[in-house]
Amino acid sequence: MRRVIGAIGRTFITVGILILLFVAYQLWGTGIYTAREQDQLEQQFNAALRSEGRAAPTSTTTPTTTLPGPTATTTTTTEPAPPPPPEGGAVARIRILKIGVDAIVVNGVSRDDLRRGPGHYPNTPLPGQEGNSAIAGHRTTYGAPFGNLDQLAPDDLIEVRTLQGNFRFRVTEQRIVAPSDVSVLDPTPKSPDNPSGGLAATLTLTTCNPKYSASQRLVIKADLEPDQVALPAPKRKVSPAIAEAGLSGEAGSKLPTLVSGLVALLIGALWWLFFHRHPRWTTWIIGAIPFAIALFIFYSYLERVLPANY
């Protein structure tokens, strides 16, 4: 009887440790993937800046900001906007000094896109163009680029670099909305009394609220500084489906999750048997390495099956 109770106790302890390890993987381990992807995106974005010859735009408005990248002497350009990169490609660089944000923005807000970094809603204009440019980012996982977005207040500075130049935005408001409220992606007329008079250049940042939950959305609104000229943008129709992209688990990951889980379980069982027959520290290390690798792979698939939490 004591052996049975002891075995049950050890099983619960093991399960508890594995759950804690999964939590640690979500909060910190996913950041390893994002950091690697951000390095690749930064190289891609800098190469795009050089290849597009955007280091010296043709029209002048104000001196450039201190955003990293090729040296530029102006903020905007009168040249036509280059075509957007494919989904998952680098589209901009966002910097918010107050909360320590300095990240490359990818084109798209699917689950895979947001694992790489903050994602630009593809059906909204690019930052600096007329209209409401929207960017979503994780708050607790995958590097948590928007983890401290709630600390932003009116008049805080947000800098964005695109292939068209450097743009400065000032925060105007912070609000909390339901996940289904896509009205936050709507553009703002330059003049409320004259909606046909053009659109103001605004920036909207979204992330989940509260932390560790996807029940609400934290939204930050910002306006292009008045000394900068907004660039023309093609008309786009915001799709509600895009606003909800990446919030549900991936059904296609269920089979890989099951297989990788069984592999991790098999390796763990063999490790346990081998260690009990040869209880030495070298045996423990030999078994721990492949088990840790298998567990990491299992967690990576398991995380995709579960609902996302910006």
Q: Same domain, yes or no, for 206 and 65?
A: yes
Check if the beta carbon of residue 75 is closer than 8 Å to that of residue 101. Answer: no
pLDDT band at 283 (very low <50, low <70, confident <90, very high): confident
Q: Higher confidence at residue 57 or residue 26?
A: 26
What's the confidence (pLDDT) of residue 20? Answer: 85
Round the average pLDDT of the chain to a whole number and report it. 82
**11 found inside a domain:** no
Q: 237 and 104, same structural domain?
A: yes
Q: Verify that 181 and 304 share a domain, yes or no.
A: no
Residue 44 lies in a domain: yes
Q: Do 218 and 271 reside in the same domain of the chain?
A: no
For residues 226 and 254, state if they share a domain: no
- 42 and 182, same domain (yes or no): yes
What is the model's pLDDT at position 87?
83
Tokens read off for 142: 């995958």
Do 50 and 183 reside in the same domain of the chain?
yes
Examine the domain organization and report whether 252 and 173 are in the same domain.
no
118 phi, psi to nearest 5 deg:
-55, 145
Quick one: 229 and 94 in the same domain? yes
Q: How far apart are CA 188 and CA 193, in angstroms?
A: 11
Same domain, 228 and 193: yes
Angle at 303 between CA 42 and CA 238, to 5 degrees: 60
| 103 part of a folded domain | yes
Residue 24 lies in a domain: no
d(CA 155, CA 173): 9
Q: Domain range for residue 109?
A: 30-243
**186 with 278, same domain?**
no
Among 218, 243, 268, the domain boundary falls at 243
Boundary of a domain, candidates 243, 263, 290:
243
41, with CB counted inside 10 A (0-12, 13-18, 19+), is: buried
Of 193, 210, 243, the domain-final residue: 243
In this prediction, residue 309 carries a pLDDT of 52
Q: Cα(111)–Cα(242) distance, rounded to whole angstroms?
A: 11
Phi, psi of 235 (to 5 degrees): -70, 135
Residue type, position 200, single letter: A
User: Is the predicted pLDDT of residue 173 greater than 90, yes or no?
Assistant: yes
177, 152: one domain: yes
Q: What is the per-residue pLDDT for 59?
A: 34
Quick check: is 10 in a domain?
no
Q: Decide: residue 153, CB within 10 A, 0-12 exposed, 13-18 middle, 19+ buried.
A: exposed
Is there a domain that residue 290 lies in? Answer: yes
pLDDT reading at 24 higher than 80: yes
Residue 131 lies in a domain: yes
